[in-house]
Structure 1
Amino acid sequence: MQKYTKYLFFISLFLSLLSLYIIGKGGKEIYPFYSWKLFTSPSGSEKFEEQYRLYRVEGNDTIRVLYQATEIYDENNLALITGFYGKKIEKNENREESIKKMKIFMKSYRPEYNNLLLYKESFNPWDLGKPSFKINKILITKL
C-alpha cells in the first residue's frame, strides 16, 4: 500500500480541486473527502455524540427535519446553525433571542414548516448499524 501513497495523494488533490471547481460553478460536491469535516470531527472518534435536531409536528406524528441542501445552505451549514442555536437555547444564553433567530433561520430554510420541536439527541456512534442502536432524545423547546 505504501508504494501507492504518492499516487493516492495526487488523485485526492485532483479530485478535491475538481470538487472546488464544480461547487464554485453551482454544482454538488463529487468527492467526499473534499470536506475537511471528515478529518476534523469524524463520527466514532468518541463514544458519545450529541446533536440538536429539529422535528416538525403533523397531526399526532413528529417527523425529523432532514438536512437537504438549498441555494442558501448546504447540509453542513444546516447542522452547524441548528447546533449553534440549539446549544444557546438549552444553556439559556439569550434564550428568547436565540429562539427568535432560530425561527428566522427556519423561515429562510423551510418556510412551509410550522410547529417545530427542537430536540437534543445523544447516541453512541460505535453502535451505528447494530440492532440495539438507540438515540436518546430530550425536548429542548417548541418553536
Structure 2
Amino acid sequence: MLSSSKRLLYTKVLVVVSVAGSLCTSLTLRAGWGELYPFANWKLFTQPRGSNGLYSSYRIYTLQPGDSVFRRQPVRATRLFNQDDYVYALDYLVNSTLADSTGTGTSSLKLQALVKHLYPGATAYRVVRESTTPQQLLHQPHMYEADTVARF
C-alpha cells in the first residue's frame, strides 16, 4: 500500500500530466490534427459512450393567460427540486411517456403533474425536445431545432 506522501505526489503528477495533455490537445485540435489526449474532450463527461455530434434536452414551454405565443421557461430550482433534479425528473418522465407502449398513460399523468407543479397558472403546456450541435451552441446559443413531444 502506498503511503500518503507518495499518493499525494502521484496525484500531483497526474494533475500536471492532465493539464499538459489538455493544453496540447487544444492546440492540436485548433491546428486540425485531431485529439492527442482523449480525456480533454467535453464528451468524456457529458456523453461517456461518445458523441454523435448532436445534443438534445427537454424544455417546458407555457402559454400564459392572455398570451398567444408559447414561452420557453428557464430551468430553475423550486422548493422541491434543485436544477439537477428538475432536469433529471423531466428527462425521466418524458422518456417514460414516450416509451409507454401499454397505453396506460400513468407516465403521461406524472409528467403532466410535474409540469403543472413547476409552472402553475398557465393555460397550456408543451414539452419540447431541443436539439443542437455543440459547435452551433457555442456560436449561436439560441439556435436549435425544437420538436414538441407532449402537450397538455
TM-score (structure 2 length as normaliser) = 0.59
The alpha-carbon deviation at position 55 of structure 1 amounts to 0.5
Larger Rg: 2
Secondary structure at 1:61 match in 2: coil
Q: Matched residues in 1 for 2:88 and 2:118: separation? A: 13
The alpha-carbon deviation at position 56 of structure 1 amounts to 0.5
Tell me the matched-pair count.
Answer: 112
2:74 paired residue number: 66
1:75 to 64, 83, 86: 83
**Greater RCO (Cα-Cα under 8 Å, separation 6 or more):** 1
1:50 paired residue number: 56
Identity within the alignment, %: 17
Determine if contact 2:60/2:126 at 8 Å carries over to the other structure.
Answer: yes
2:129 to 101, 116, 120: 120
The alpha-carbon deviation at position 57 of structure 1 amounts to 1.5
**Structure 2 unaligned runs (5+)?**
1-8, 16-42
The alpha-carbon deviation at position 126 of structure 1 amounts to 2.1
TM-score (structure 1 length as normaliser) = 0.62
2:148 paired residue number: 139
The amino acid of 1:87's aligned partner reads: N
Q: Matched residues in 1 for 2:63 and 2:128: separation? A: 13
Determine if contact 1:46/1:125 at 8 Å carries over to the other structure.
Answer: no
Q: Is it true that 1:41 corresponds to 2:49 in the alignment?
A: no
RMSD of equivalent CA atoms: 3.3
- Greater CA deviation, 89-98 or 111-120? 89-98
- Greater CA deviation, 66-75 or 85-94? 85-94
2:116 paired residue number: 107
Q: Matched residues in 2 for 1:78 and 1:107: separation? A: 13
1:18-55: CA deviation from partner (whole Å, max 9, x where unpaired): xxxxxxxxxxxxxxxxxxxx97427x955111211110
